[in-house]
Chain A
Amino acid sequence: MLISVYEYDAYGIARVTRTADLKEPYRYGFQGMLRMSEVAPSTTIINDYATLFRTYDARTGRWTSHDPILQPWESTYAGLAGNPAMLTDWLGLTPGGGDQRAASNSDASKPGGNSAPPTLLSSTTQTGGGHQAVPLVPMVPMTPIEGIGHSYVILNINVVADRPFSLTYKLPSLPNCLGDKPERSQSDATSVALVKGGTDALANVIAGTAKVVAGGLIMTASAATAEIGVGVLVFAVGADLAASGVNQIIYDAPQETVLKQVARGTLETAGVPKEYAEPIASGIEMGVQTVAGGVAPATGRSLTVTSIETVSTPGVVFSAADDVATRAATVLDDVAEAGVVGPTLVDEAAVVVGPVQEVAKATRRGRAPEFPSGTISEDAVLNTTIEYLGEGYREVSPGRYVSVDGLRQVRYGRHEVRVPGNHHVHFEALDELGRVVENAVVRIE
């Protein structure tokens, strides 16, 4: 059940316009710290947090008392080691690179759960306190796609919203793909953008960001429905920048402006048509958070989707598909229980982790009929075609049949029967511009 919605900046300042308690205030906030509601009991905007060992002030990004464990390389008041994108410190003890709760459970002898995995930049430096050094870059090898090194984790959820809503979810941080990148780069660590347009927009973004480090959340708004894609797109180039947190982007302009500019540039570079390329909001900042929001042009319905506050949980993204699936289910439940969903959830969540074929399979749009056996009898071809195309379909050229709405096509012509013993039929789904988005080839027995 969705109870509260909070959005924070990197160090935990609650954003006024995107924070609300839908039912009742929730006790915990940024990074799981206890919200000190007695400081400002009448508001949901809390920037003071209590942890087991000390209190944290999100406005300054610093603790209000000394670190119980001396970190000789930094101020004892420093918050999150200057790396809120990758580190959490819900105990107020020492920043950790992983899920501290899980780590604590597995090794109770290490307060703060700093049983972080080995790192490439800083491995196991021991301090006087006997705990491991803060991991700067978690060693999370990306799953290569056909040897290229691009990986996707996409979680698409389509909803029809009948009123504005927002959701906040935590997703694992972006993994990294290490390389000798310059320490500071704004051009590499760029964003996925929110674009105006129909369902094509998402695909355009995906198609157009092959050389872009991208992460977070994509939303597209179409005339009648809003389609939300929650997930992470990770690409090899510069992913270390987005993930490591050691390469801070220096902005000369307000963050939002910069993100929009970056998003716009990304889209232009990707060749996305200009009418679809105006970002409404955008992007990713160092894997910290992603904000998307917009208004469906025809209905005027607004749809605001969240921040993703990344949590450093190395390895989760690419090793635990079940975890992503669970998150998907949670999203769906929350959307439904928040009462913001219209008549239908258009599609179930498609979740995929790993190689591109799995991505493609999981993100299929579900219109072309499936034939797990891969075969169909000759007698069944006609009936299946009629059923698939619906009434009013027409033969637009020899052997090519298209539905009235132009979104479904069956091909069974000379080309498909030219090879003896390999007669087959194509059941295809097309986008609004006639481009093929699904192509199911079924052999005729």
Chain B
Amino acid sequence: MNTDVKAIVHLGSSHPSTGYTVHVVDGSPIGAVHTLQIVQYEGDEGFYLLYLDANDVEITDTYHSTLEAAKEQARLEFGVERNAWRTC
């Protein structure tokens, strides 16, 4: 499954989690998210917002029907403004 990375942002001290969304993986809340990545998979029209740890390992993801919706999710969760994204 080919992956097309659409945008990426590294979360720093200016992007604290707002607690808007609760992510629980395998029964436990997820740890610190260091990077957000929006990707699109071949054959899938949706956009996945990937939550990556310090080693760029995917912790979890959310699905969004548009690129803008994925960015809005990131804004709500981490205060990532539109212009903070690096487009790939």
A residues touching B (Cβ–Cβ < 8 Å)? 145-148, 150, 152, 154, 203, 206-207, 210, 271, 356-361, 363-365, 368, 370-375, 397-398, 400, 409, 411, 414-415, 418, 426, 428, 434-443
Contact = CB atoms under 8 A, between A and B. Distances in A.
Secondary structure type dominating chain A contacts: mixed
Contact of A372 (B27, B32, B63, B69): B27
Contact of A363 (B22, B28, B45, B76): B22
A440 B60 CA distance: 9
A198 to B, nearest CB: 14
A207 B19 CA distance: 8
Contacts of B17: 145-146, 356-357, 360
A371 B22 contact: no
A414 B45 CA distance: 12
A437 B20 contact: yes
20 contacts: A146-B16, A152-B19, A206-B18, A207-B76, A210-B79, A357-B31, A360-B29, A363-B22, A370-B24, A374-B25, A375-B26, A409-B63, A414-B41, A415-B41, A415-B44, A415-B61, A439-B21, A439-B60, A439-B62, A440-B24
A206 B19 contact: yes
Contact of B26 (A360, A398, A426, A443): A443
A300 B79 CA distance: 33
Contact of B48 (A271, A415, A434): A415
B13 interface: yes
A359 B44 contact: no
Contacts of A435: 21, 69, 72-73, 76
Given A414-B1, A439-B60, A356 B19 contact: yes
B76 A374 contact: no
A356 B22 contact: no
Contacts of B1: 414-415, 418
Contacts of A437: 20-22
B23 interface: yes
A370 B29 CA distance: 11
Instruction: Say which size band chain B's interface belongs to.
Output: 35 or more
Contacts of B27: 371-375, 442
A412 to B, nearest CB: 11
Nearest to A363: B19
A436 B62 contact: yes
B26 A207 contact: no
Interface string B43-79: 1111010000000000011110100010011011101
A210 B25 contact: no
A59 B9 CA distance: 55
Given A206-B18, A443-B26, 12 more contacts: A203-B76, A356-B16, A357-B29, A360-B17, A374-B25, A375-B27, A415-B63, A426-B63, A435-B73, A435-B76, A439-B23, A441-B23
Nearest to A441: B25
A421 B28 CA distance: 19
Contacts of B13: 147-148
A300 B56 CA distance: 50
Most chain B Cβ neighbours within 10 Å, of A415, A418, A438: A415
A440 B28 CA distance: 9
B63 A400 contact: yes
Contact of A434 (B16, B60, B69, B77): B69
A400 B61 CA distance: 14
Which of A150, A370, A440 has the most chain B CB atoms inside 10 A of its CB?
A440
Contacts of A415: 1, 41, 44, 48, 61, 63
A150 B16 contact: yes
Contacts of A372: 27
Contacts of A409: 63
Contacts of A371: 27
A397 B22 contact: no
A108 B81 CA distance: 55
Contacts of A368: 24
Contacts of A439: 21-24, 60, 62
Contacts of B46: 397, 400
Q: Which 4 A-B pairs have the closest CB atoms?
A: A374-B27, A374-B26, A364-B22, A207-B18
A434 B64 CA distance: 9
A127 B1 CA distance: 76
A112 B76 CA distance: 47
A43 B13 CA distance: 53
